[in-house]
């Protein structure tokens, strides 16, 4: 009886699927899973805000592609690669998820990169930093959307050195991400004619940075670079202010600082900071309109970060590519994404390279003083628009095997 | 320039002072823990959450009610202390007959719930709290720039530690407390209300944690996880000082602050682990802790 019923249902389902979607949408539904940190250090800058952004993209697209409904799932990977890998495997094997989106924390992102490459599922990464995702670990089913450590390091490192910050000292979070960020920035500083005087490795996480700040102050460097993220950055900036470091003439820069960190610090403490960001909600009419819609859905009082906006842009582009390609088969969709320019509220002139890097303009910004800030979340002055080709690592320097393959063709 | 193992002596003095400042908050936190453990035999894992609540209550008082730092220094410990009393009356007092482990699990669970609630309401990035007007800015000590507020933290923490120590060693209430720690049944036989004493002690311990939280509010980003990061270190301090030893935990708190400060200069990568290395060594050589008595 049960077997018979199952068979009947299966037959009906197959029939329905065949009838509804002439295009090849697997299981007649497109499932998108937002996998990120929903309770830990990155839950404000990505977290639920990214889920809301993805849902907005689905709604704006119309909720259906080629007649197949678009479904959104989300889960908390707790910044642990094993937890993230388990969820991704279950999503792919049991729930037949077609695309995994957002994935902050480089260690988790690299684990997801492996799984999605092997199981042929799309990976749209917005929040992870590692530039290896489009370098030696690149994948034909992945697009890295918003930023990476290379772009952050070069944007800020080059600009500050050219402005006269010739000597640098780093306070570095003592794990892979911090060291990568320090290394990339040091390269940019040297290329621009600057010098690195030294660095100190702070354990991760650290609440009290005063000792490290004092060492940085003692070095006499023009610029103190914070190669860390999240609460570490917030505490370091807050305490640098307390110890009067910027008043003494030294410049302080957070190499990976999001607008949510600035909001937490408050302008009196954060003013004058120089940083690189991929998107700013108050950049133009389109970004403002989108940010206000997002803010409403989040219950008001907050504005989106660049990575949350990146999730919207990535999901929208993904859905457009399915529409154009007529299939949700991972490699074909990503190839189609690469063939289409990106023009939306996130970027005016984006395109995706063979290695999976979405290239777009980045912004060098300075945090406004309380007097300059006219309304809530009016935080950034854009100092310079860094053209995409300059902001991101040249494709031949990354060591992505896909690049050699496409060059050989 | 005079140097000490390649570090200028002036820089070293600055680092030692910073170590002392951090030691001050370790001392106040471990004091509360040691008090609670001494009388209740409860390993209060909610101590970190109570510290976090102290900081948050101070921030809420300022943000929603305009109540300034000085008042918050009194009101926040009071609020969190009362909350502690509630926890003791409703939950903890049912566990005294059971193994230590149950108290630990209960308080750990409470800490997770409190952190979760604050995270739900305020997110993770944290809130900002400025030092009071009077204590903004700093003084140049010649070897370093000392923010006034940090100087104040050391002074007030020392004063609180001394006052609590004197209260326990020199007053009648303190004598009762010590007696109840030794033999609660006997003290009860003399007509002393021991359960009330226990409730009061837990409330006071929680209030001390909250006090440390208010002191920390202008120094750190006030976020729901700020307590869970510091509490592990404070546990190590209490273990090294000797579980339940008041003076031991205060001295160890300041001492380990100094050791940590030095590590940050000579081998910064190890500064988060050095306290646990010391804990392991102390446990090997003197299992009851530096100031503890073996049972």
Q: Give pLDDT, residue A11.
A: 52
- What is the rounded distance in angstroms from the CA atom of residue B63 to the CA atom of residue B57? 10
> In this predicted model, what pLDDT tens digit does every residue of A54-94 receive, in sequence order?
999 999 999 999 999 999 999 999 999 999 999 999 999 99
- What is the rounded distance in angstroms from the CA atom of residue B249 to the CA atom of residue A217? 33
- What is the rounded distance in angstroms from the CA atom of residue B38 to the CA atom of residue B32? 10
DSSP-derived 3-state class of residue B247: helix
E-strand spans in A4-132?
Answer: 30-36, 64-65, 68-76, 99-102, 122-125
* Residue A17 pLDDT class (50, 70, 90 cuts): very low
Query: Cβ contact (<8 Å) for B273 and A203?
Result: yes
- A234 has a chain B CB within 8 A of its CB: yes
Residue where the block lists tokens 């270190």 = B233
In this complex, the residue of A239, A263, A269 whose CB is nearest that of residue B125 is A263
Note whether residue B56 is domain-resident.
yes
Note whether residue B291 is domain-resident.
no
Note whether residue B293 is domain-resident.
no
In chain A, the percentage of residues whose pLDDT exceeds 70 is 93
* Residue A22 pLDDT class (50, 70, 90 cuts): low
Quote ipTM for the complex.
Answer: 0.89
Query: The domain containing residue B222 runs over which residues?
Result: 3-285
Q: Of A164, A147, A144, which Cα lies nearest the Cα of A155? A: A147
- A254 has a chain B CB within 8 A of its CB: no
- What is the rounded distance in angstroms from the CA atom of residue A242 to the CA atom of residue B129? 12
Note whether residue B292 is domain-resident.
no
Query: For chain A, what are the domain ranges?
Result: 26-147+285-355, 164-277+366-386
The number of distinct structural domains making up chain B is 1
- What is the rounded distance in angstroms from the CA atom of residue B93 to the CA atom of residue B10? 52
In this complex, the residue of B18, B124, B127 whose CB is nearest that of residue A41 is B124
- B273 has a chain A CB within 8 A of its CB: yes
Please state the pTM of the whole predicted model.
Answer: 0.87
Top pLDDT among B70 and A19 is at: B70
Note whether residue B83 is domain-resident.
yes
Quick one: how far is CA A228 from the chain centroid?
Answer: 15
Q: Of A256, A241, A252, which Cα lies nearest the Cα of A173? A: A256
- B147 has a chain A CB within 8 A of its CB: yes
Note whether residue B123 is domain-resident.
yes
> In this predicted model, what pLDDT tens digit does every residue of A188-238 receive, in sequence order?
999 999 999 999 999 988 999 999 999 999 899 999 999 998 889 999 999
Q: Residue A253's beta-bridge partner residues? A: A225
Q: Please tell us whether the domain made up of A26-147+285-355 is placed in CATH 3.40.50.2300.
A: yes
Residue where the block lists tokens 């995270």 = B119
The structural architecture, per CATH, of the domain A164-277+366-386 is 3-Layer(aba) Sandwich (3.40)
* Residue A169 pLDDT class (50, 70, 90 cuts): very high
Between A and B, how many CB-CB pairs are < 8 A? Answer: 101
Q: Are A408 and A144 in contact (CB under 8 A)?
A: no
Same fold, A26-147+285-355 and A164-277+366-386: yes
Note whether residue B294 is domain-resident.
no
Query: Cβ contact (<8 Å) for B272 and A201?
Result: no
> In this predicted model, what pLDDT tens digit does every residue of A127-160 receive, in sequence order?
999 999 999 999 999 999 999 999 999 999 999 9
- B24 has a chain A CB within 8 A of its CB: no
Task: Report whether pLDDT(B24) > 70.
Answer: yes
B225 contacts on A by Cβ (under 8 Å): 41, 231
Q: Which residue of A has its CA nearest to B262?
A: A211
- The C-alpha torsion from B226 through B228 and B230 to B236, rounded to 10°, is 180
Measure B85 CA to nearest chain A CA, in Å: 29
A237 contacts on B by Cβ (under 8 Å): none
Q: Give pLDDT, residue A10.
A: 55
- A211 has a chain B CB within 8 A of its CB: yes
Query: Cβ contact (<8 Å) for B265 and A211?
Result: yes
* CATH assignment at residue B74: 1.10.3470
Q: Are A262 and A273 in contact (CB under 8 A)?
A: yes
């Amino acid at each position: 009886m049960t077997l018979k019923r199952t068979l009947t249902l299966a037959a009906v389902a197959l029939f329905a699927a065949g009838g509804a979607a002439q295009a090849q949408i697997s299981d007649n539904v497109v499932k998108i899973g937002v996998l990120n940190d929903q309770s830990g250090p990155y839950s404000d800058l990505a977290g639920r805000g990214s889920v809301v952004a993805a849902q907005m993209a689905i709604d704006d697209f119309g909720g259906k592609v080629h007649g197949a409904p678009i479904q959104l799932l989300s889960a908390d990977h707790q910044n642990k690669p094993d937890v993230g890998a388990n969820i991704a495997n279950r999503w792919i094997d049991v729930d037949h998820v077609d695309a995994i989106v957002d994935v902050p924390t480089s260690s988790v992102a690299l684990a997801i990169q492996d799984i999605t490459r092997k199981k042929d599922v799309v990976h749209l990464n917005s929040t992870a930093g590692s530039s290896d995702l489009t370098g030696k670990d690149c994948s034909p089913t992945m697009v890295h959307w918003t930023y990476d450590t290379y772009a952050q390091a070069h944007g800020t490192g080059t600009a500050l050195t050219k402005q006269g910050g010739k000597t640098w000292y780093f306070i570095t979070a003592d794990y892979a991400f911090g060291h990568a960020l320090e290394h990339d920035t040091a390269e940019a500083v040297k290329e621009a004619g600057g010098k690195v005087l030294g660095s100190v490795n702070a354990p991760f996480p650290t609440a009290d940075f005063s000792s490290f700040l004092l060492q940085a102050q003692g070095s006499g460097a023009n610029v103190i670079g914070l190669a860390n993220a999240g609460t570490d950055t917030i505490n370091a900036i807050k305490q640098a202010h307390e110890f009067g470091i910027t008043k003494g003439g030294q410049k302080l820069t957070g190499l990976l600082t999001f607008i949510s960190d600035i909001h937490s610090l408050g302008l009196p403490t954060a003013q004058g900071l120089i940083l690189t960001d991929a998107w700013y909600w108050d950049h133009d009419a389109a970004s403002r309109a989108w940010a206000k819609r997002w803010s409403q859905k989040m219950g008001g009082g907050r504005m989106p970060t660049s990575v949350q906006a990146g999730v919207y842009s990535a999901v929208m582009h993904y859905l457009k590519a399915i529409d154009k390609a007529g299939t949700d088969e991972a490699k074909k969709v990503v190839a189609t994404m690469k063939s289409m320019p990106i023009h939306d509220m996130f970027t005016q002139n984006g395109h995706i390279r063979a290695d999976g890097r979405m290239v777009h303009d980045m912004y060098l910004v300075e945090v406004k003083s309380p007097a300059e800030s006219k309304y809530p979340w009016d935080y950034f002055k854009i100092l310079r628009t860094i053209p995409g080709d300059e902001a991101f690592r040249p494709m031949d320097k990354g060591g992505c095997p896909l690049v050699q393959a496409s060059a050989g063709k | 320039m005079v140097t000490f193992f390649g570090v200028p002596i002036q820089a070293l003095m600055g680092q030692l002072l910073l170590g002392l400042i951090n030691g001050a908050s370790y001392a106040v936190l471990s004091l509360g823990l040691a008090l609670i453990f001494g009388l209740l035999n409860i390993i209060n894992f909610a101590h970190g959450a109570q510290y976090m609540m102290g900081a948050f209550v101070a921030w809420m008082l300022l943000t929603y009610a305009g109540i300034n730092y000085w008042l918050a220094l009194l009101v926040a410990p009071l609020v969190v202390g009362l909350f502690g009393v509630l926890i003791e009356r409703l939950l903890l007092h049912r566990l005294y007959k059971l193994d230590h482990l149950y108290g630990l699990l209960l308080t750990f669970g409470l800490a997770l719930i409190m952190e979760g609630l604050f995270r739900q309401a305020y997110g993770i990035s944290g809130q900002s709290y400025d030092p009071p007007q009077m204590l903004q800015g700093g003084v140049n000590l010649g070897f370093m720039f000392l923010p006034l507020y940090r100087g104040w933290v050391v002074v007030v923490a020392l004063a609180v530690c001394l006052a609590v120590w004197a209260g326990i060693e020199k007053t009648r209430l303190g004598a009762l407390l010590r007696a109840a720690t030794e033999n609660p049944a006997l003290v009860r036989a003399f007509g002393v209300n021991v359960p009330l004493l226990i409730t009061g002690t837990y409330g006071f311990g929680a209030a001390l944690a909250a006090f440390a939280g208010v002191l920390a509010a202008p120094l750190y980003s006030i976020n729901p996880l700020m307590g869970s990061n510091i509490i592990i270190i404070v546990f190590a301090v209490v273990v090294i000082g000797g579980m339940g030893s008041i003076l031991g935990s205060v001295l160890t708190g300041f001492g380990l602050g100094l050791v940590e400060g030095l590590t940050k200069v000579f081998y910064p990568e190890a500064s988060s682990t050095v306290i646990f290395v010391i804990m392991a060594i102390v446990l090997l050589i003197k299992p009851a802790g530096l100031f503890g008595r073996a049972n």
